[in-house]
């Protein structure tokens, strides 16, 4: 996966930054290291040592030592076979962590909208390492409601719509790590073999949403869909759950429509290109 980074100012040297009053309290080596990371990003995501020295105004030796430390910590990386330095995977990790902090706040109005429209319990979840974690829950508005768990680590994600909505967009080896300790049978309808799960996740990608028809809890139906960011990476998912007594085709279709509309709109907020285009197309259709 390659992040989309805005191009920098070409090969021209970046002018030295003027010192401010707060600089007296800064640590010069930390400031320079962060300046280097910013400069790599502005150069288009990769640059030579000489180019970085020219852009930052630092000498070659200082740049080399700072980059060596950044590489050791995973914030920078050497491009194999080329004399280039690039942003490291640790940058993506921190970026995703930042998104997950912001996700519950930005998702709140969408969770409320789905909850109002369907009357059902609504969940927000995100991927953290090899686990899927529930970040927020909106309880159903009905007296008879689904109790599908609270905030925290999601057990048996392979059996839930919100888990499958996230897993569907992950590499197969990552899916394998998530279920490495076994796929618990929650009900007689639970998928317990990895090949069958992989096949089910292909359907999720094709349809754009995931279903849980009493796979996690008897008498409970759920529908979930993924939230994606500006490079198409899944950063979370939203699901709605209903008891079987209300799981008519009409109600399930309503849940599906509300969930997919919410996740498309939230994905557009995070810059997901196809969601933005879809929102534009819907606006144009409404205006015509």
* 121: nearest Cα among 101, 144, 103: 144
In sequence order, which residues have a C-beta less than 8 Å from that of residue 185 and are 6 or more positions away? Answer: 192
Q: 10 Å Cβ neighbour count for 265? A: 18
- b/e map 83-107, b = 16+ CB within 10 Å: ebbbbbeebeeeebeebbeebeeeb
Domain 27-87 belongs to what architecture?
Orthogonal Bundle (1.10)
pLDDT tens digits, 245-277: 999 999 999 999 999 999 999 999 988 877 654
For residue 76, pLDDT beyond 70:
yes
Over the stretch 12-30, which tens digit does the pLDDT of each residue have?
Answer: 444 445 555 555 667 888 9
Residue 284 reports pLDDT greater than 50: no
Asked whether residue 2 carries a pLDDT value surpassing 80, the answer given is no
Cβ count within 10 A of residue 29: 12
**Structure-token pair, residue 192:** 């317990």
Is the pLDDT assigned to residue 201 strictly greater than 70?
Answer: yes
Instruction: Read off the pLDDT band of 8 (50, 70, 90).
Output: very low
> Percent helix, strand, coil in the chain (nearest 5)?
50, 15, 35
DSSP 208: T
| Domain 92-287 homologous superfamily, CATH | GAF domain (3.30.450.40)
Domain ranges of the chain: 27-87, 92-287
**pTM, full prediction:** 0.68
Alpha helices in 45-160 (DSSP H): 49-56, 60-72, 89-118
Contact 87, 76 (CB under 8 A): yes
- Cα distances from 40 to residues 1, 156, 213, in angstroms, run 18, 40, 48
């Amino acid at each position: 996966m390659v992040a989309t980074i805005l191009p920098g100012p070409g090969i021209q040297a970046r002018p030295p930054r003027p010192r401010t009053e707060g600089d007296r309290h800064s640590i010069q080596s930390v400031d320079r290291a962060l300046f280097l990371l910013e400069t790599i990003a502005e150069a288009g995501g990769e640059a030579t040592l000489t180019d970085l020295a020219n852009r930052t105004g630092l000498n070659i030796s200082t740049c080399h030592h700072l980059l060596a430390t950044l590489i050791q910590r995973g914030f920078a990386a050497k491009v194999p076979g080329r004399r280039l330095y690039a942003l490291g995977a640790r940058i993506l990790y921190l970026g995703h962590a930042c998104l997950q902090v912001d996700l519950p706040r930005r998702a709140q109005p969408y969770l409320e909208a789905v909850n109002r429209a369907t009357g059902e319990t609504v969940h927000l979840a995100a991927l953290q390492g090899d686990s899927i974690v529930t970040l927020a829950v909106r309880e159903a508005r009905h007296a008879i409601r689904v109790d599908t768990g609270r905030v925290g680590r999601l057990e048996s994600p392979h059996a839930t719509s919100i888990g499958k909505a996230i897993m569907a967009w992950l590499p197969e080896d990552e899916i394998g790590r998530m279920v490495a300790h076994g796929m618990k049978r929650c009900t007689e309808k639970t998928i317990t073999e990895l090949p069958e799960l992989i096949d089910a996740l292909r359907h999720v990608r094709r349809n754009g949403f995931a279903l849980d028809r009493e796979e996690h809890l008897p008498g409970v139906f759920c529908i979930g869909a993924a939230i994606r960011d500006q490079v198409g990476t899944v950063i979370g998912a939203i699901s709605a759950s209903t008891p079987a007594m209300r799981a008519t085709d009409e109600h399930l279709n309503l849940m599906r429509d509300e969930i997919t509309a919410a996740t498309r709109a939230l994905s557009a907020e995070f810059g997901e290109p196809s969601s933005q285009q879809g929102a534009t197309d819907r606006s144009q259709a409404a205006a015509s």
